[in-house]
Chain A
Amino acid sequence: MIGGLFIYNHKGEVLISRVYRDDIGRNAVDAFRVNVIHARQQVRSPVTNIARTSFFHVKRSNIWLAAVTKQNVNAAMVFEFLYKMCDVMTAYFGKISEENIKNNFVLIYELLDEILDFGYPQNSETGALKTFITQTGIKSQSKEEQSQITSQVTGQIGWRREGIKYRRNELFLDVLESVNLLMSPQGQVLSAHVSGRVVMKSYLSGMPECKFGMNDKIVIDKQGKGGGATGQSIAIDDCTFHQCVRLSKFDAERSISFIPPDGECELMRYRTTKDIILPFRVIPLVREVGRTKLEVKVVIKSNFKPSLLAQKIEVRIPTPLNTSGVQVICMKGKAKYKASENAIVWKIKRMAGMKESQISAEIELLPTNDKKKWARPPISMNFEVPFAPSGLKVRYLKVFEPKLNYSDHDVIKWVRYIGRSGIYETRC
């Protein structure tokens, strides 16, 4: 298990050092500094073995977090723990910076004592931790309060404390997707996938039992009837859930039920590869006129409902290395040749669905005797659209709180879809 945990600043000075196991000595602190932080070469692996001691590190801005061990630990767990440690610290005092860490070192030691025991990670949910590790010192607690704390920390719902009250029960769901594409010049899709996340922000009283439904093909098909009425369903390749979701229930019935942590959490991550709505189509046309000139014409077509607006559109058209000058004409937005990036960058602020826009450029080339042909890197695109390219729809999110007297109807719910471009490329 984890033998020790160190936090360093960018110079390699120790800000926090906590040793959990007898086999880790103070010299481990220096070994990591010398061999990793001060190493001349770029770090080639996040796991380093120095003198039979293994160091796992992650970096947040210029702060290094390193976990140390001499045993055959679960490596995935150590990294997950380090990330979690960062989350917890961020939740307590904001950005992880040298100043913040120094200002909160007592708190960090207290946290480290709680979330890691003899190198075994313990409950590390901020919601629970905040009930008894506070920055303002411990208030005197009544006996009930104490046992409430301990049962929460060790209980099945370790991520939420009891007795939360809101005057207004409200929840926000964000479906955030990133759509990736590689398309051939002829418009054939070579590869496309969407990786998405459902982020939930909830401000709900009590211990609300929630049930989340989406247009998952397997569920819709199972229900059978009304398939036509509910619209399209989507096939999800794989999904993972926040630890609050009951996985065995999902596995058996494919229903997503849970008691959410208070505030924000990433409820689910998923991937789809089938029936992706590609928000934009890029049609390139490159013509070589003689040896010193290229004519480039690129058409982009928006492929979604005319009532929706795409934003922050950027098309990047690579140019050969021996470009001497570029003349651009575009119908919409602004286009510029950026010599340092070897590309024409075309920006459009907004564009409605089912529209088309075009750019044409003349590229002057310097004559070279380089035999090697220009490799023609793909044209890439960035954008943001207000729908989910995977086609995912939230069908419902039901809230039940049997003990308190508010019903599902009293909860104000907000759903938002944002589709962004991941690596969205068209070869030319």
Chain B
Amino acid sequence: MEWANQLCENRQFGSKMTDSKYFTTTKKGEIFELKAELNSDKKEKKKEAVKKVIASMTVGKDVSALFPDVVNCMQTDNLELKKLVYLYLMNYAKSQPDMAIMAVNTFVKDCEDANPLIRALAVRTMGCIRVDKITEYLCEPLRKCLKDEDPYVRKTAAVCVAKLHDINAQLVEDQGFLDTLKDLISDSNPMVVANAVAALSEIAESHPNSNLLDLNPQSINKLLTALNECTEWGQIFILDCLANYTPRDDRESQSICERVTPRLSHANSAVVLSAVKVLMKFMEMLPKDLDYYGTLLKKLAPPLVTLLSAEPELQYVALRNINLIVQKRPEILKHEMKVFFVKYNDPIYVKLEKLDIMIRLASQANIAQVLAELKEYATEVDVDFVRKAVRAIGRCAIKVEQSAERCVSTLLDLIQTKVNYVVQEAIVVIKDIFRKYPNKYESVIATLCENLDSLDEPEARAAMIWIVGEYAERIDNADELLESFLEGFHDESTQVQLQLLTAIVKLFLKKPTETQELVQQVLSLATQDSDNPDLRDRGYIYWRLLSTDPVAAKEVVLAEKPLISEETDLIEPTLLEELICHIGTLASVYHKPPSAFVEGSRGVMHKRLPARTGSGESTESPDVGTAAGGSAPEAAPSIIPSQGDLLGDLLNLDMAPPTTTGPPPPNTGMQMGGMDLLGGGLDSLMGDESEPPHVPPRTDILRSPSPQPLSPVYTHTDYTYTDYSHTDSPPDHSPPDHSPTEHSPPAELGGDIGGSPAMGAGFGAAPAVMPASLNAPVGGGLGDLFDLGGGVGMPMGAYIPPKTVWLPAMKAKGLEISGTFARRAGVIQMELILTNKAMSVMTDFAIQFNRNSFGLAPAGPLQVLTPLGPNQTIEVSLPLSTVGPVMKMDPLNNLQVAVKNNIDVFYFSCQYPISMLFVEDGKMERQVFLATWKDIPNDNESQFQIKDCHLNSDAASSKLQGSNIFTIAKRTVEGQDMLYMSIKLSNGIWVLAELRVQAGNPNYTISLKCRAPEVSQCVFQCYEAVLKN
């Protein structure tokens, strides 16, 4: 508020009378003064007072106490004053709902004003006031405004429908506003069309399956016509909407492309990018041999290049998108390398992005130019940029074989500069060059060794050590070099320690005579003096290998390494496809799917590129279509997964069930059970094997994927692996000469058996099945069989609670209803048993749900086709959807149901296990999990105890997976297994869980973190139910 005071003084010294003076009211008692002024008779004074109020509001002061006085000023002819009062209302109405109602009359009156500007203003503001009572009154005026004669009012009303939908979706549907909105797409005024499209697109996002936009050739034609006439912003709305459409065939696709291409010449970069998105997407459908396809490709390059002359922030957005486009269709920009050369006055974020694209475009034809540029960049001032430039030189070497020699000599030049970070970066990339071109550039090793002392970054040290170990036979003093590192072994970071261990073992295998002492030293350092389990594990493996079979050791450690592939840092193809569908948006800037940064269900739907379905060649499968779409995928470059992916693989290996490493489990309950059976079985087998004392703990067996890549895999991946996993010291790892005592307590054995489904079928699952079969005496039919099958054969499938009586016959004139909920093949089902205990026949069954917390609603009618005679029972399963109206219930999983038959309507309520709502794609990316976990405030964490559960962690994890509770990672700390799990509810809420299982302790601890902490209790109940049944 300092400046406000200063300004106050200025004013006293007679400065100009302007609006800034309103920022100056900071005295005590100002509220009273303002109150008086607001109630003044003089219009001018009133207006001044309202301005002061707004100024205070802006700087964050609470002026809500003035609510009634400000609202009193609302009825005025002065539009400026009115707008100010409205602004105030929008801010404070929510905190004072009762008083906000005072404003309603004025709004309603204003909506009928003769002046269209005032009508629009009223409807616009009303939509921003999120108070239920006001919303009710909004409907009538809104309906009128949607059909107003003035386009300005209509375009404002169109957006207002989206606002209202955000407040109360059900109301919008009930009132039929969606249909009116759809009609507006055919409005004569282009801006009305554009706003209607924007509103509909937004509403459609929260109803992914509704056919709200109903795009068809006719409506597309309307949109394309409006495209030529509306404002630049309207064009963006329409193009973004068009991008969601999938043309029927290549002809339609081409004709849309033809009508969209003129937009590429628009001065507004967002229009251009959205047009590029539509074209990139629809191009997928065009046959490649079509002339038009080639023309289109040529037309795309110039506008993309032109984007680079926009303002820097937009250049950044454009470059992030070009990065995607270049990966998808390298041919578009392959001749445009020069425009990505960095300019001295580019902001750093533009420079870094340009550099990335330069490397993607580097080819034999332009490599000389690129290298000259990169060398230039390596002498700049910004450290990050220089590092990236040096790294880029290495990537060029790997990408363009012909240039490798030149790249290496350039790197050597750079090493000569002795600039510390340049040298380190160069060494890191030279290591990769050695990997790609073994036995070619070893002559430079001497130069590298000169710089040994200056390396202080772990990555560079590790790279250097790797080089020394790998070429130990050619470096005379390799042992001395490595020994010098060994002195400070314990101060090194883990990656350096691991590397040093491997390097010394390599050295020993190459020069056994002189280095025996060295290798013994490092092995004992690694196994006995280290707290790091990875390091110790690796140490043990080497130790055992060397002591049992040196020949085998040689084969393992000095095995030929797989060559690293050409292209690095490529985005994984399915993600790339999805991102192409999001060109221009934040997703394309972050290079992440929207689900990674958007909360709730909005925009989480995954978008895919259309498959090529030419009218003549429609038989092509989608996969072929997309693969042939780009030119690159034909010789699909193999990808070095980013470090996170490798980490994932390793972590997955830690988890027993093989299903988690493969594609997501198939959806049908039957298959899922089968797979899990296998997984669980395998798990227990492995578990059994790990019992004998002299074998290292079983996680280690599982972790090394195959004997061969031991050293190469570690050199590339273990860097990050260690970042995450067991950095604490588990006491159960002991040196090999002691006999480990850990894996023996009977409790765990029991747990293993209980969890192993092969044996556990009779045990764990039986109680779950029994009541179900008891409750279904007659006519169980197929459904029951299925249930039974589920009970016996697949205890690991989704957990289904036993059926309970929901509606006793006493209360429902003879109709008894019992039932349960199940999730089968991704569909939520309500399984009902209807028994007629009355004397007369029952017919005309129907079912309805009250609004509930997760929008559960019957997806179809209740299928009771034949009349239900006395003493007859029928089993029905009713598929449910989650797009129904939402209202928070207490308890959260409470469901109120009405069942009607020819006799009466009956009401009952039941509780469904929230696990029915766990969707199949609830497995979170590990990085996302980590970030989200940190992101959710600790207040949202809740802890529960699950008592008397005798499963081991792996069995628990696979059991939970059956109910779509996915284990993402597991680590073991001090004999305690920590499982990290994610769950996604059908409404997009994520629940993260940490399950702690202590061997031998039947009590589990579970911590749940969720942005909506209300659900935690229900989720916990599910854990308990799933784990105990």
Contacts and interface: CB of A to CB of B under 8 A. Distances in A.
A247 B258 CA distance: 12
Nearest to B151: A154
B451 interface: no
Given A9-B3, A240-B266, A271-B306, A247 B58 contact: no
Contacts of A247: 228, 262-263, 265-266
Given A75-B589, A147-B116, A372-B417, A46 B159 contact: no
Interface in B329-351: 338, 343, 348-349
B51, B159, B160, B259, most chain A CB atoms within 10 A: B159
Nearest to B155: A154
Nearest to A99: B20
Given A1-B202, A117-B156, A72 B231 contact: no
A120 B237 contact: yes
Interface string A227-247: 000000000011111110011
Given A76-B273, A103-B19, A146-B115, A250 B262 contact: yes
Contacts of B586: 47, 54, 69, 71-73, 75
Contacts of B261: 251
B20 A240 contact: no
Contact of A371 (B305, B314, B416): B416
A421 B343 CA distance: 15
A118 to B, nearest CB: 5
B892 to A, nearest CB: 22
B59 A13 contact: yes
Interface string A111-141: 0010001101111110000001000011001
A354 to B, nearest CB: 30
A56 B267 contact: no
Contacts of A146: 115-117
B87 interface: yes
Nearest to A140: B77
Nearest to B167: A22
Nearest to B229: A156
A240 B7 contact: no
Contact of B80 (A58, A104, A106, A121): A106
A326 B84 CA distance: 67
B217 interface: no
Contacts of A49: 590, 597
Nearest to A159: B231
B33 interface: no
Contacts of B78: 137-138
Interface string A33-72: 0000000001111110101101011100000000001111
A242 B232 CA distance: 10
B152 A153 contact: yes
A81 B311 CA distance: 12
B228 to A, nearest CB: 5
B697 interface: no
A240 to B, nearest CB: 5
A122 B349 CA distance: 30
B153, B202, B379, most chain A CB atoms within 10 A: B202
B356 to A, nearest CB: 13
Given A49-B590, A240-B266, A248-B262, A13 B3 contact: yes
A123 to B, nearest CB: 6
B268 A243 contact: yes
B267 A266 contact: yes
A151 interface: yes
B317 A79 contact: yes
- The main secondary structure of chain B at its interface with chain A is helix
A329 interface: no
A302 to B, nearest CB: 26
Contact of B589 (A47, A110, A158): A47
Contact of A14 (B60, B233, B269, B597): B60
B166 A22 contact: yes
Interface stretch (B191-199, B754-762, B938-946): B191-199
B190 A156 contact: yes
B269 A113 contact: no
B266 A243 contact: yes
Given A45-B349, A154-B151, A423-B343, A237 B584 contact: no
A122 B87 contact: no
A102 B1 CA distance: 13
A26 interface: yes
Contacts of A43: 349
B22 A105 contact: yes
Interface string B282-318: 0000000000000000000011011001011110111
Nearest to B195: A120
B19 A240 contact: no
Contact of B233 (A46, A106, A124, A271): A124
B104 to A, nearest CB: 20
A104 B198 contact: no
A153 B154 CA distance: 12
Interface string A19-30: 111110010010
B309 A242 contact: no
A242 B588 contact: no
A113 B83 contact: yes
A172 interface: no
A92 interface: no
Contacts of A15: 58
A58 B347 CA distance: 13
A243 B598 contact: no
Interface string A366-381: 0000011001000000
A343 interface: no
A269 interface: yes
Contacts of A248: 228, 259, 262
B1004 interface: no
B114 interface: yes
A250 to B, nearest CB: 6
A44 B20 CA distance: 33
A14 B155 CA distance: 31
B58, B192, B230, B590, most chain A CB atoms within 10 A: B58
B229 to A, nearest CB: 5
A156 B227 CA distance: 11
A150 B152 contact: yes
B306 A240 contact: yes
A243 B231 contact: yes
B610 interface: no
Nearest to B51: A106
Contacts of B311: 58, 79, 83
Contacts of A291: none
Contacts of B262: 247-248, 250-252
B348 A238 contact: no
A29 B314 CA distance: 23
B585 interface: yes
Contacts of B156: 117
22 contacts: A15-B58, A20-B128, A23-B599, A72-B594, A74-B240, A77-B584, A79-B317, A102-B18, A105-B58, A106-B84, A109-B87, A120-B198, A124-B233, A141-B115, A150-B151, A150-B152, A153-B152, A156-B230, A240-B303, A247-B265, A250-B262, A271-B305
Give me the 8 closest cross-chain CB pairs, A-B, nearest first.
Answer: A238-B302, A150-B152, A251-B262, A102-B20, A76-B270, A77-B270, A72-B594, A103-B18
Given A74-B270, A120-B198, A155-B151, 15 more contacts: A9-B3, A58-B311, A75-B317, A83-B311, A102-B7, A110-B80, A118-B162, A125-B231, A143-B114, A149-B117, A155-B191, A191-B338, A237-B305, A251-B262, A271-B309
